[in-house]
Chain A
Amino acid sequence: MAGEYDPQTFYDGLVRHGLIVPVGVPGAFGRGAVFEDVLERFNALVSQLARDDHAEVYTFPPVISRAVLEKVKYLDSFPHLCGAVYSFFGKEPEAKALAARVNEGQPWGDLLGITDVVMNPAACYPVYPSFSGTLPQAGRQVTMLNWVYRHEPSNEPTRMQSFRVREFVRAGTPAQVLAWRDLWLQRGLSLLVALGLPARAEVAADPFFGRGGKLLAINQKDQQLKFEVLVPVISAAEPTAVCSFNFHQEHFGTTFGIRTPDGHTASTACLGFGLERIVMALFRTHGFDPEGWPAQVRRQLWP
C-alpha cells in the first residue's frame, strides 16, 4: 500500500474492508474473518519455528489472580495501565440503588467492590507461580497465546486496550536464558523480514508511569534488558513495536522462589509477538486484500 502513514486513514481502511469492527469504545474493536485468518496463519508460522524446542503449551484466561499482580509489584510501575475487576457484593436494597443509579445515568462505580481477579496485563505473568521450586537441569520453556489488557484507550488502531500475544517464557541459568533470548530475536526478525515487513530491532524500555518511570526506563535501556522489533504501521518516524524480548534477571525468580538445580535463584526471560499489530503491519505493507499480497508472502501464510 503506497502513500503516507496516517493512523486515521489506516483505521478507516481496516473498517471499510471489514477487517475490524468498531464497538463504540476506542481500542476494543472486533476482528473480522479475514483478519483472524491471517492472525491464525501467522501464529502457525511461529509454532513451526518453535517446533523443535518442545516448549510446554498453556492457555490462560484474560484474567489473573489479583494476588499475583500485587506480588510482582505491577502497580509500582504501571498503575496507569492496570484494569482491576470490580463486582457487586450487595443485597436487595443495594441492588435497587445500583440499578437506579445506572438507569439515571449517574456514576455507579463506587457501589462495586474489588474482586480477586484483575485483567491480565502481560502474557507471561500467569505462568510464573507454577515455576516455584527447583527447575529441571534444562530449565523450563513455555509457550502461550493469551489476551492481555492495558488501560490506554486510543483511536490509533495499533494501540489496543485488549489484544493477543503469542508468548514464550524461559526459566533457567542466565546463560541459558540469554542464549534463548538472542536466538528468538534472530528468529523473530527473520520471520518478519521473510514476510516482506521492513522490521528492525532496537533496545527499548517499558512504558513506566510518571517521572520516576523515566529513571526506570533509562536504567532498563542502559542495561539492555528489553529489545523490540519495530515495523512502520501508522508512522514512518515512529515505527510500531510488534515483538518484545525481555530479560527479567532474577526478578521473577526471587518473587516466586524459582531455583536452578545448583540452588541459585533462576533467571527468566520472555518474548511476545503482538499478533494484532503484526497482522496490521501486513495489511499496511501489502494492502487490505490478502489476495493481492506478493506471492512469496502468500506462499508462507497459505502453504
Chain B
Amino acid sequence: MSAFTFVRLDARRASSGVLRLRTMDVTAKIRRILKEHGRLSLDADTLALNADLYEAGMTSHASVNVMLALEGEFDLEFPDHMLKRSVFDSIASISAAIGELQAAAA
C-alpha cells in the first residue's frame, strides 16, 4: 500500500490534513469492527497498529466475521487473492488492503 495510494487518491482533495483524517477514520472503523466481531482478548481501541490480531485471540471464524463486516462497512469486496491470513493479521494490514481496494475503485 500505500501511503502512495492514499496520496494519489487524495490528491484531488489536495490536503494532507484530509489524508490524515481519512486514515484515522478507516483505523477507527476497523477498531470498532474488531471490537464487535474479532472476539479479541485485548482492547481493540488500544491495540498497536501492527499487533498480531490472531495472537490477540482472533480465531479463524472471527476473522471471517471481521472480513464480512469490513466489506459491509466500506462497501467493497475482498478479491480472492486477498483472502489470506496476512491481510487480516493486523489493523495496519487491513487498513492497507482497504486503501488498495478503495484506490482501485476511485
Contact = CB atoms under 8 A, between A and B. Distances in A.
B61 A211 contact: no
Which 3 A-B pairs rank lowest in CB-CB distance, beginning with the nearest? Answer: A212-B64, A219-B60, A214-B83
Interface string A254-294: 00000000000000000000000000000000000000000
Interface string B63-106: 11101100000000010100111001000000000000000000
B85 A216 contact: no
A220 B60 CA distance: 8
Nearest to B84: A218
Interface residues of A, number: 13
A280 to B, nearest CB: 32
A218 B84 CA distance: 6
A76 interface: yes
A215 interface: yes
Contacts of B85: 215, 218-219, 222
A132 interface: no
Nearest to B88: A215
Interface in B38-80: 60-61, 63-65, 67-68, 78, 80
A278 B85 CA distance: 34
Interface string A206-242: 0000011111101110100000000000000000000
Nearest to A211: B83
B80 A212 contact: no
A77 interface: yes
19 contacts: A76-B61, A77-B61, A212-B64, A212-B65, A212-B67, A212-B68, A213-B64, A214-B80, A215-B60, A215-B63, A215-B64, A215-B83, A215-B84, A216-B64, A218-B84, A218-B85, A219-B60, A220-B60, A222-B85
A73 interface: yes
B47 to A, nearest CB: 20
Contacts, number: 32
Q: Which of B64, B68, B85: most chain A Cβ within 10 A? A: B64
A209 to B, nearest CB: 10
A40 to B, nearest CB: 38
Given A211-B83, A212-B67, A215-B60, 13 more contacts: A73-B61, A213-B64, A214-B80, A215-B64, A215-B83, A215-B84, A215-B85, A218-B83, A218-B84, A219-B60, A219-B85, A220-B60, A222-B84
Nearest to B61: A76
Contacts of B80: 214
Interface in A66-93: 73, 76-77
Contacts of A77: 61
Nearest to A251: B59
A164 B68 CA distance: 35
B84 A216 contact: no
Q: Which of A76, A214, A215: most chain B Cβ within 10 A? A: A215
Interface string A109-147: 000000000000000000000000000000000000000
Contacts of A73: 61
Q: Which of A73, A213, A219: most chain B Cβ within 10 A? A: A219
A211 B78 CA distance: 9
Contacts of B65: 212
Nearest to A214: B83
A211 B64 CA distance: 9
A211 to B, nearest CB: 7
Contacts of A214: 80, 83
B92 to A, nearest CB: 18
B102 to A, nearest CB: 19
A77 to B, nearest CB: 7
